[in-house]
C-alpha cells in the first residue's frame, strides 16, 4: 500500500509561519530556530513541490499564486489539527468546552432558561453558545451539537427529535381594538401578514390546514428570525403566525392576542443534531443525555 504523499511536516509548519508573518525573521522567532534554518526549510519545501512559493526581492518576500493557494490549504489543515489537539487535551473526564449551535429564538426562549440547571449539575463543562441556523457544518462552525428545525435528514450526524410545534395566529391588542378587529378569517385582509423569510410558505400551509382560501391579502415585512417576528407583532407591525411554545409568556401577559383557536402542526420539528465525529466525547454524551432527559 502506498504511503501518503506528504512533504516534511516541519517544512510545512515553517512555511505557514513565514506566510502568516510575511517574514522569515518573525517566523524563526516564533519557531525558535535561526532565520537561515527557516529559509532552508522553505527552500526544501519548494524543491519538493517543484514550485516557487515566494518571490524574494532584496529584503522583501511575497507569496506567489501557488504560495497563496498552498498557504490557504495548510492554514485550514493546521487549524483543524490544533483544534483537535486542544479538543483531546481538554476532554478528560468530560471537561472542556461544549460548543452549541443554537437557533436564536428557540435557544433564547426554550434552551437558555434550562441551562442553569445543566451548569449546576456539570460545572466542569464550559458552554460556548453561538447563533446557528444556516447550512449545518460542524467543522466550519466549530460546534459539537446543534439544534435545528427540519425533517431529520442531516448526514454524518446523530439526530434526536426534540419536539414538534403548533403554530397559531397572533396580533397585538392595538390591532384587535382598532378599526378592523380580527373576528374572522376574512378580516385578515385588512392587515399586513408578517412572513418568516426562512419559512416563506408558512401562511399558505396554515390557510390550507384550516380550509380557507382568502383573497386580497396584504403581505407585510419578511423577517429572518422568530424573535423579530414576535417583537414586530407586539409592536403592531402586522399579524403573525408563530409557534405556541415561543409566545406563551407574551399571551399570558397580554402583549399578544390569539384571535382564533386554531393551532396547526408545523411542517417540521426541532432536532438535536450531534456531530458523529464527536458523539463519544464525554461532554457531548453528558449534554445529549441531559437534554433528552428534559423532554421526559
- Topology, domain 9-79: Arc Repressor Mutant, subunit A (1.10.10)
118-138 pLDDT, tens digit each: 999 999 898 999 988 778 888
Q: In this model, does residue 209 exceed pLDDT 70?
A: yes
pLDDT at 115: 95
Which band of pLDDT confidence, cut at 50, 70 and 90, is reported for residue 94?
Answer: low
When pLDDT is averaged across residues 60-70 and rounded to a whole number, the result is 94
191 three-state secondary structure? coil
The yes-or-no verdict on residue 242 having pLDDT over 70 is: yes
Contact yes or no for 118/286 (Cβ under 8 A): no
170 pLDDT above the threshold of 90? yes
**Would you say 186 and 207 are in contact if contact means Cβ atoms under 8 Å apart?**
no
Q: What is the mean pLDDT of residues 79-98?
A: 72
Region for residue 4 given its phi and psi (left: phi exceeds 0; alpha: psi -120 to 50; beta: otherwise)? beta
Cα 267 to Cα 47: distance, rounded to the nearest angstrom: 58
Each residue of 3-43: pLDDT tens digit?
788 899 999 999 999 999 999 999 999 999 999 999 999 99
Domain ranges of the chain: 9-79, 92-164+269-294, 166-266
* pLDDT recorded at residue 36: 93
**How far apart, in Å, are the Cα atoms of 174 and each of 25, 46, 135, 200, 222?**
68, 71, 38, 26, 21
pLDDT of residue 260: 93
End-to-end CA distance of the chain: 51
pLDDT of residue 58: 75
pLDDT of residue 92: 60
DSSP string, 235-266: TTS-BEEEEHHHHHHHHHTTSSB-S----EEE
* CATH topology identical between 92-164+269-294 and 166-266: yes
Per-residue pLDDT, averaged over 157-186, amounts to 92
| Residue-level pLDDT at 259 | 94
Quick one: cell of 284?
Answer: 457531548
Which pLDDT does position 80 carry in this prediction? 78
Give domain 166-266's CATH superfamily. Answer: Periplasmic binding protein-like II (3.40.190.10)
Confidence class for position 85, pLDDT limits 50, 70, 90: confident
**Nearest in space to 103 (alpha carbons), one of 93, 112, 91:** 112
SS3 for 2?
coil
Whole-number pLDDT of residue 91: 63
What pTM was computed for the model? Answer: 0.68
Average pLDDT, the chain: 90
CA distance 190 to 31: 69
Confidence of residue 90 (pLDDT cuts 50, 70, 90): low
Cell of 55: 518571490
Environment class of residue 127 by beta-carbon count within 10 Å: exposed (0-12), middle (13-18) or buried (19+)?
middle
Q: What percent of the chain is predicted at pLDDT more than 90?
A: 62
Residue 84 pLDDT grade (very low, low, confident, very high; cuts 50, 70, 90): confident
Is the pLDDT at 152 greater than 60? The verdict is yes
CATH class of 92-164+269-294: alpha beta
Amino acid at each position: 500500500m502506498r504511503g501518503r504523499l506528504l512533504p516534511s511536516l516541519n517544512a510545512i509548519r515553517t512555511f505557514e509561519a513565514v506566510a502568516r508573518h510575511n517574514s522569515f525573521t518573525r517566523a524563526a522567532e516564533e519557531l525558535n530556530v535561526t532565520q537561515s534554518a527557516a529559509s532552508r526549510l522553505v527552500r526544501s519545501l519548494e524543491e519538493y513541490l517543484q514550485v516557487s512559493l515566494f518571490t524574494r526581492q532584496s529584503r522583501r518576500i511575497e507569496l506567489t499564486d501557488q504560495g497563496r493557494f498552498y498557504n490557504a490549504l495548510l492554514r485550514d489543515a493546521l487549524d483543524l489539527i490544533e483544534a483537535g489537539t486542544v479538543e483531546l487535551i481538554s476532554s478528560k473526564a468530560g471537561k472542556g468546552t461544549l460548543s452549541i449551535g443554537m437557533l436564536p429564538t428557540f435557544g433564547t426562549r426554550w434552551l437558555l432558561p434550562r441551562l442553569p440547571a445543566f451548569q449546576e449539575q456539570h460545572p466542569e463543562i464550559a458552554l460556548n453558545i453561538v447563533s446557528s441556523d444556516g447550512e449545518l457544518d460542524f467543522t466550519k462552525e466549530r460546534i459539537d451539537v446543534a439544534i435545528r428545525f427540519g425533517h431529520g435528514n442531516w448526514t454524518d450526524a446523530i439526530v434526536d427529535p426534540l419536539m414538534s410545534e403548533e403554530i397559531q395566529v397572533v396580533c397585538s391588542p392595538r390591532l384587535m381594538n382598532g378599526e378592523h378587529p380580527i373576528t374572522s378569517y376574512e378580516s385578515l385582509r385588512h392587515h399586513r401578514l408578517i412572513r418568516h423569510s426562512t419559512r416563506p410558505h408558512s401562511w399558505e400551509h396554515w390557510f390550507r390546514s384550516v380550509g380557507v382560501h382568502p383573497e386580497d391579502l396584504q403581505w407585510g415585512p419578511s423577517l429572518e428570525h422568530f424573535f423579530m417576528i414576535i417583537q414586530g407583532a407586539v409592536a403592531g407591525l402586522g399579524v403573525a403566525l408563530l409557534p405556541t411554545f415561543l409566545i406563551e409568556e407574551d399571551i399570558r401577559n397580554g402583549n399578544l392576542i390569539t384571535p382564533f383557536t386554531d393551532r396547526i402542526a408545523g411542517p417540521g420539528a426541532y432536532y438535536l443534531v450531534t456531530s458523529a465525529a464527536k458523539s463519544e466525547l464525554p461532554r457531548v454524551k453528558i449534554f445529549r443525555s441531559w437534554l433528552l432527559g428534559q423532554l421526559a
